[in-house]
Amino acid sequence: MSSHASAVGSTGSVWEGGQSPYATNSKKFGMWLFLISDSLTFSAMLFAYTYSRVTNPDWPKPFDFSPAIIFSTIMTFCLLSSSLTMVLAVHAMNHGDRKATVRWILATMVGGGAFVVLHMSEWLKLINVEHVTALNNPWGVPLFGGTFFALTGLHMTHVLCGLIYLTFIAVGVGRGKFKAEDVEVSGLYWHFVDLVWMFIFPLVYLMSAKVG
Amino acid sequence: MSQHSEAVEHNAGEVLHVGASISTFAKVWIALLVMTGMEVLLAYEQVPTLIMLTVLLGLSIIKAALIIAYFMHLKFEKLSLFLTLFPMLIFCIVLMLIFLGDAVRIPNMRPPA
């Protein structure tokens, strides 16, 4: 049986199940499936935000160009740069350089941490200065707070989970555990968090920017 | 693709494809930053809403495609992986547009205050 299986594994066609049809490992494929399902969750929330906005002509524009839009642009820069450092971590791990991998993962975490700090300050300004909550706000459009905090809160939760995930990976790689594929899978998750922000930033922040 | 991609030789001659080179990643990063700058400029100029929404969505889709293709390595995976994951995702997202017509009509259906 085993000899038959190994023979099929080396010579069988894709359609006979003799080879991995995606030529990838199961961890990476599992992460891709999770990310696709998570994409649908974020898509649904972005559509909920957009529909709420379209149906409310009085939708507020609470984001002053300075400092809110400048802050969120810096947050975007932090996430984009952390994606670059994550790619470099995967690259270093593929070349077997564990020390460089840990350094690049730590740089990624610095970018992610800066994003969370800036985002929290943005939230606190909205809550304390503008008096926006998930249920109410001064402009009389309660759906704004509900959809805004749900969408950006879910994204921030993903960033925090990513930071915890990367901590485990960095510690493991530093101790000689984990393979290149494990770092690559964590990278997939981190890039996804970056990718989602590429839609939240323009649709939520830039479309509600207030100049002057 | 071949001139920008690289491969690492592992044990017993097994070749592990690791995707693009560092310079390609840096170029993608710069392109993403430039597009982000364009988006912020549009917001600063207060372009009409419909034009702004169209351009912002277009730029976001291009940015997402660059991230998926290069940073998430999908450009260097087998086509079967892309075909398994993305057509149904795009189909489901397009389906979510089904209520857009209703959403646009609702403000006009409200009785005057």
pLDDT greater at residue A33 or residue B101: A33
Q: Which residues are paired to A209 by β-bridges?
A: A63
Helix (H) or strand (E) run with residue A22 in it: none
Using the predicted structure, report yes or no on whether residue A210 has a pLDDT greater than 90: no
Per residue in A106-150, pLDDT (tens digit) is 999 999 999 999 999 999 999 999 899 989 888 889 899 999 999
The backbone torsions φ and ψ at residue B81, rounded to the nearest 5 degrees and listed phi first, read -65, -45
Per residue in B7-53, pLDDT (tens digit) is 554 444 444 555 688 999 999 999 999 999 999 999 999 889 889 99
pLDDT greater at residue A7 or residue B102: B102
Q: Grade residue A42 by pLDDT with cuts at 50, 70 and 90.
A: very high
| Average pLDDT value for residue range B58-67 | 97
A202/B57 touch (CB, cutoff 8 Å), yes or no: yes
Longest dimension (CA), chain A: 75
Q: Does A62 touch chain B (CB under 8 A)?
A: no
Per residue in B78-88, pLDDT (tens digit) is 898 999 999 99
DSSP chain B: -TTTEEEEE-GGG-EEEEEE-HHHHHHHHHHHHHHHHHHHHHHHHT--HHHHHHHHHHHHHHHHHHIIIIIS-GGGS-HHHHHHHHHHHHHHHHHGGGGHHHHHHHHHHSPP-
Rounded Cα distance between A206 and B33, Å, is 15
Per residue in A120-129, pLDDT (tens digit) is 999 999 999 9
End-to-end CA distance of chain A: 75
For residue B29, the model assigns a pLDDT of 97
A32/B81 touch (CB, cutoff 8 Å), yes or no: yes
DSSP A15: G
Q: For the ranges A36-45, A70-79, B6-15, B65-74, which has the lowest average pLDDT?
A: B6-15
Q: Does A156 touch chain B (CB under 8 A)?
A: no
Q: Does B31 touch chain A (CB under 8 A)?
A: no
For residue B1, the model assigns a pLDDT of 39
For residue B102, the model assigns a pLDDT of 87
* Chain A residues near residue B71 by CB distance under 8 angstroms: 83-84, 86-87, 187, 191, 194
ipTM of the complex: 0.88
Q: Grade residue A1 by pLDDT with cuts at 50, 70 and 90.
A: very low
Using the predicted structure, report yes or no on whether residue A17 has a pLDDT greater than 70: no
Percent of chain A with pLDDT over 70: 91
Per residue in A138-181, pLDDT (tens digit) is 888 989 999 999 999 999 999 999 999 999 999 999 999 999 99
For residue B9, the model assigns a pLDDT of 46
Q: What is the mean pLDDT of chain A?
A: 90
Residues sharing a CB contact under 8 Å with residue A96, sequence separation 6 or more, in sequence order = none
Q: Does B81 touch chain A (CB under 8 A)?
A: yes
How do the domains of chain B map onto residue ranges? Answer: 5-109
- Label residue B5 left, alpha or beta by phi (over 0 means left) and psi (-120 to 50 means alpha): beta
Residues 40-79 of B with CB under 8 A from A: 40, 42-44, 46, 49, 52-53, 56-57, 59-60, 63-64, 67-68, 70-73, 77-78
Burial label for A123, CB within 10 Å (0-12, 13-18, 19+), is: middle
Which of A34, A87, A95, A186 best probes binding to B when mutated, by most B CB atoms within 10 angstroms?
A87
Q: Grade residue A57 by pLDDT with cuts at 50, 70 and 90.
A: confident
- Structural domains in chain A, sorted by start: 24-210 (1.20.120.80)
